[in-house]
Structure 1
Amino acid sequence: MGCRSLYFICVIFSLFFSSIAQSLQNQSARISLDDLLQQYASRVLARSHSGILYKATLPANLSGMEASVVRLRGGSFWTRGANYSAFQLPPKISASPYIKRLAIVYQNLGNWSSHYYRVSGHSLVTPVVGFRAYDASNFSSSVITPINLSVIGDPISIHFPQFLLPSGLNWTAKCVTFNVDGTVFLTDMTLPNVCSTPNQGHFSIVVEQPKRKARRGWNLWRWWVVVVVCGFVGLVSICVVSILLVRHTKAKKIRKMERKADQGESFKTIWVGSSKMPSAAVTRTQPILENSYAP
């Protein structure tokens, strides 16, 4: 009993730590992807003009993704905000630390979205998009430093393209936010196809995976098990009953034969020495002449 309990405890701990390791691995992969897209986006900053969105050139192994960058002055960003790509950053967003120029890198992971981002029990219905602000004071540098943004006024809004929900069920779409620190939040949409956030990160729209189908499949599988077990038990019962009937029939025949034997002619007994033995009455056959003439 103790060994079995220890085994189950070890299994639970191994599953727990493997899930943690998988989560850390996914987080590391996302950070590496952000750094890689930032590097390709920063290459266009040296020849860029403020307030113009530039699309970065990505390698063939990142086909399906998109990255773009815009460089802004700190004062202009505070008073006007930034309405580029799918994001609308309203005025009164402060950068920390304060910088003269900042760059905003936008991402669209396209068909790679579900490879890097997942929500337990939900399915993505739109690509994952994201943005991150960087210090662009020294735009000649190939490496730019990320900065924090603090939303003081209205929240940042993300506008997604029109999407179609799977047919057959009454689906409810939710906004999902993948924060920079790895936390995940589900919220309701403020407007159709529009999500809002006070933070940087990645965003998408998800729907909850249908539990009814899974439950129906589980019930079907359970009924099949019940049918198979009941069929097996019924077959065994039929075999047992058949064997008992055959034995009962044979025993009945034997008892009948014994009763007939007991009801037959009884023999007299005589003593022969010290033994008692059955004896039948002696009947002599009368002689009969072959013809009526005497010799």
Structure 2
Amino acid sequence: MKPNRRHSFASQTFFFISFLLVFCLGNDKFLISTIKKNAFEAMDVSLTDVEYKVPLQGNLTSVQASAMLIRNRTFWLKGANLSSFHLPPGIISNSFSRRVLLISYNLGHNLSNSLYTSSVESGFSLISPVVGLLAYDGGDATHSNRRELGFTLTGELIVIKIPAWENRAVSYCARFGKRGYFSLEGEELNGCCLTKGPGSFGVVAKGLIGELPAAAPPPPAADAREKRWRMWMVGLGGAGSLALVSWMAIWVGSLVARRRVREMRKEADEGQVLDVMWIGGRKIPVAGLTRTVPVL
């Protein structure tokens, strides 16, 4: 078998086995590993801040995946827009990395149901494709050794635009994790969900609207930002006032001290035996006006 055919056969075998493992085990670990592997292989280190499509072969062509290599400084200052995810400025990666590789994917209808229907709590149904966001260290190591990164948000939350194929009066954002983990993240609003970091997300709802539980309120991001902003303004105002008062006190004290020194010097100069006279800003000693009477 020729080398190129051998490589093609091995690649097709890998994707076929991954596809079987995904469907038979109902676990997204192999799928995410495949997306990650192809994203690193298609990455061009000379291009940053540019979204590129992640090629997937075999039976995974229905999965839509894209990636972007972005500088950490740019990520902090401007954020990023990648497929369904809007990442605002002010995001810090938990581990230092000069560049961050962001990967997003959309599993589509069939694959989402096959992987995550069993994870959804009883009474809920998955009504949207599952989309995901991954973040890795964009250094020079091989893709198998790349560190997975988490985020710390200092500003707004990450916005996810999830395409739904079924409209319900009330629906909820859900996060899917490892080992069948499932949690509600709050009510879905206009096809958008909010999150604090990478993961897999979808929209769920109940069959009967009357049976829907009370929705968890979305995180008060705006209120929290406004509160933090007020606290910062109060702190800065107090510090600025204290600095201004201190500077004024030092300036007035300096003026008083200089004036006192000038008065002391003037008193010392005028207290000498000879009279003095100030001419043009200079001190000149002057003798008395009475002359000695000559004796014949």
TM range (shorter): 0.5 to 0.7
1:136 counterpart letter in structure 2: G
Shift in alpha-carbon separation, 1:182–1:138, aligned structure 2, 3 A: farther
Residues 165 and 211 (structure 1 numbering): CA distance in 2 closer, same or farther, change over 3 Å?
A: closer
Q: Over residues 205-250 of structure 1, what are the superposed CA-to-partner deviations in whole Å (9 max), with x where a residue is unaligned?
A: 11113499xxxxxxxxxxxxxxxxxxxxxxxxxxxxxxxxxxxxxx
Aligned to 1:151: 153
Q: Is the 8 A contact 2:172 2:188 kept in 1?
A: no
1:81·1:90 contact (CA, 8 Å) conserved in 2? yes
Given candidates 48, 51, 67, the residue that maps to 1:50 is 48
Higher Cα Rg, which structure: 1
| Alignment deviations for residues 169-224 of structure 1 (CA, whole Å, 9 cap, x no partner) | xx421111124686322133363111001121011111113499xxxxxxxxxxxx
- Cα distance change, pair 142–92 in 1 and its aligned pair in 2 (3 A): same
Partner of 1:75: 73
Q: Secondary structure at the match of 1:33?
A: helix
Shift of the 94–179 alpha-carbon distance from structure 1 to 2, 3 Å rule, reads farther
Which secondary structure state, in structure 2, belongs to the residue aligned with residue 117 of structure 1?
Answer: helix
Is residue 127 from structure 1 mapped to residue 126 from structure 2 by the alignment?
no
Residue matched to 2:112: 113
In the aligned structure 2, how far is the partner of 1:184 from the partner of 1:48?
39
- Alpha-carbon distance, 1:32 to partner: 1.9
Q: In the alignment, is the contact (CA less than 8 A) between 2:66 and 2:82 conserved in 1?
A: no
Question: What percent identity do the matched residue pairs reach?
Answer: 30
Kindly report which structure 2 residues correspond to 1:18-97, keeping only aligned pairs within 5 A, or say none.
26=26, 29-46=27-44, 49-97=47-95
Q: How many residues align?
A: 182
- For 1:213-292, what aligned pairs fall within 5 Å after superposition? none
Partner of 2:99: 101
Deviations 1:57-102 (A, max 9, x none): 1112113111111000011101111112110111111112111011
Alignment counterpart, residue 188 of structure 1, candidates 186, 189, 204: 186
Contact 1:177 1:204 in 2 (8 A): yes
TM-score scaled to structure 1, two decimals?
Answer: 0.56
Residue type matched to 2:115 in 1?
Y
Q: Gaps (5+ residues) in structure 2?
A: 1-24, 211-296
1:148 maps to a residue whose letter is G
Q: Match for 1:69: what amino acid?
A: A
Q: Which amino acid aligns with 2:114?
A: H
Once the two structures are superposed, residues 235-267 of structure 1 have per-residue CA deviations (whole angstroms, 9 ceiling, x without a partner) of xxxxxxxxxxxxxxxxxxxxxxxxxxxxxxxxx
Following superposition, the deviation at residue 129 of structure 1 comes to: 0.2
Contact 1:73-1:100 within 8 A present in 2 as well: yes
Map of 2:140 onto structure 1: 138
Q: Which residue of 2 aligns with 1:207?
A: 205
The secondary structure found in structure 2 opposite 1:147 is: coil
Question: Which residue of structure 2 aligns with residue 234 of structure 1?
Answer: none
CA 1:37–1:165: 2 relative to 1, 3 Å? same
Number of the residue aligned with 2:172? 174
CA contact (8 A) 2:127 2:164 kept: no
Give 1:40's aligned amino acid. Answer: N
- For residues 99 and 185 of structure 2, the distance between their equivalents in structure 1, rounded to whole angstroms, comes to 32
Cα offset for 1:104?
0.5
Alignment correspondent of 1:236: none
CA distance in 1 between partners of 2:28 and 2:209 (Å): 29
Q: Which runs of 4+ in 1 moved over 4 A?
A: none
* Structure 2 CA distance for partners of 1:34 and 1:48, relative to 1, 3 Å: farther
CA distance in 2, matches of 1:81, 1:130: 17
Structure 2 counterpart of 1:87, which letter?
F
Alpha-carbon deviation of 1:150? 1.3
The TM-score with structure 2 as length reference comes to 0.56
Q: Distance in 2 between matches of 1:83 and 1:43?
A: 21
Give the CA deviation at 1:115.
Answer: 1.1
Amino acid at match of 2:163: P
SS of residue paired to 2:28:
helix
